[in-house]
Amino acid sequence: MIPPRAILLVQCPDRPGIVAAISSFLFRHGANIIDFDQHTSEDEGGVYFTRLEFQTDRLDLPLDDLEHAFDLDVARPFSMEWRLARATDRKRIAILVSKHDHALLEVLWTWKRGDLRADVVTVVSNHPDLRAEVESFGVPFAHVPNGRDVRREAEGRMAEVLGAAGADVVVLARYMQIVSADFVARWPNRMINIHHSFLPAFAGADPYRQAYDRGVKIVGATAHYVTAELDAGPIIEQDVGRVSHRHSVEDLKRLGRDLERRVLARAVRWHCEDRVIVHGNKTVVFD
C-alpha cells in the first residue's frame, strides 16, 4: 500500500532562504519529501517555482491544519502563490469533442487503463456520432449542437452539463468549434486544447494543409491551455514527426493523429498530477 501523499505547488519572487523555509517546515511537521523539483526563472528579476510531493501519514497535525500553518509560516513571508493537493483527490475531466475520435479515445483509454490520476466524468459533443463509443466506457455523453449562431446558448448548455458533472478540467479533444472568452474564463489554466500543428507555426484552420503547402520536413502537435486568444495560450507539450515530399495531406493527417494522441495524453496526465505551473504565457512542467 502506498502511504498517502500530498503535492505542493509554489511560485514566488526568488530570494535566498526559500528552500530552507519550505523543507524545514515540512520536516518539522513530519512530512517526508518524496519528490522535490524546482526551477528559477531569470526573467523579471527571478521567479522561483517548485513542486514537492510528500508523504502525509506521519504528519504531526491534520493536513488542513498543515495547510493553514504553511500559509502563515512560509507562504506569506515569501509572497507565494501556492496550492496544496492531496494525491488521492482525483480531478474530474470533461471532454469536448466533435467527430474525430482519436484524441478522445486516447484519453479514455489512458484513464481506463489506470494511467490517469483523474476520472473522465462527461463527454460533450456538437455531433451525436460518438455516443455509443463514449457510453461503452461508462461515461455519460451529451449532444449539444453548436455553431456561430447558437454559440451563446450552446455554451450555456455545456456549462450546465460540465457544472452538473463537477468537471474541474476541460479537454478539447479536437473540438472544432470556437469557444468564447467567457466560456474559457470559467476554467482558467484548466482548459486544455490539442492543436494539430507545431505552434506557433500553422495556427488557425487546416494546419496539415498549411504544412503541406509550405513543404515542411517535420510536422507536429501542440497541447496548450486555452486562453481568450486563439491558439496562443501557454504551451504544455509538443511533439513532432518527420515527413517528406512523399506525404500527402492525408498522410500528414494520419501521422498527425498519432502525434496529437501522444501529446494530448501527456499534457492531460501532467495536468492531473499537478505537474504544470503557468507563469505568464509559459509553463513550467515538472515531468
Query: Which residue, 4 or 156, is less far from a copy of itself as judged by CB?
Result: 4
Query: Which residue, 153 or 250, is less far from a copy of itself as judged by CB?
Result: 250
Q: Is 53 helix (H, G, I), strand (E, B) or coil?
A: strand
Which single residue is written with the C-alpha cell 501521422?
255
CA 280 – CA 234 distance, rounded (Å): 8
CA 142 – CA 128 distance, rounded (Å): 8
CA 154 – CA 129 distance, rounded (Å): 18
Q: Is 182 a catalytic residue?
A: no
Sign of CA dihedral 253, 259, 262, 263: negative
Sign of CA dihedral 180, 170, 176, 195: positive
Interacting residues with a copy of itself (CB under 8 A): 16-17, 19-20, 23-24, 26-28, 30, 32-36, 38-42, 49, 101-102, 105, 109, 113, 115, 136, 198-202, 214-218, 220, 234-240, 242, 244-246, 248, 254, 258, 262, 281-285
Rounded to the nearest whole angstrom, what is the least distance from the CB of residue 177 to a copy of itself in the complex? 22
Rounded to the nearest whole angstrom, what is the least distance from the CB of residue 78 to a copy of itself in the complex? 13
Query: Which residue, 40 or 79, is less far from a copy of itself as judged by CB?
Result: 40
Rounded to the nearest whole angstrom, what is the least distance from the CB of residue 41 to a copy of itself in the complex? 7
Query: Which residue, 45 or 215, is less far from a copy of itself as judged by CB?
Result: 215
Q: Are 196 and 174 in contact (CB under 8 A)?
A: yes
Catalytic residue among 89, 168, 231, 251: 231
CA 104 – CA 129 distance, rounded (Å): 13
Query: Which residue, 165 or 243, is less far from a copy of itself as judged by CB?
Result: 243
Residue 219 is inside which H or E element, if any?
Answer: strand 218-225
CA 24 – CA 11 distance, rounded (Å): 18
Rounded to the nearest whole angstrom, what is the least distance from the CB of residue 153 to a copy of itself in the complex? 32
Rounded to the nearest whole angstrom, what is the least distance from the CB of residue 22 to a copy of itself in the complex? 8
Q: Could you tell me whether strands 218-225 and 191-195 are parallel, antiparallel, or unpaired per DSSP bridges?
A: antiparallel
**Catalytic machinery residues:** 231
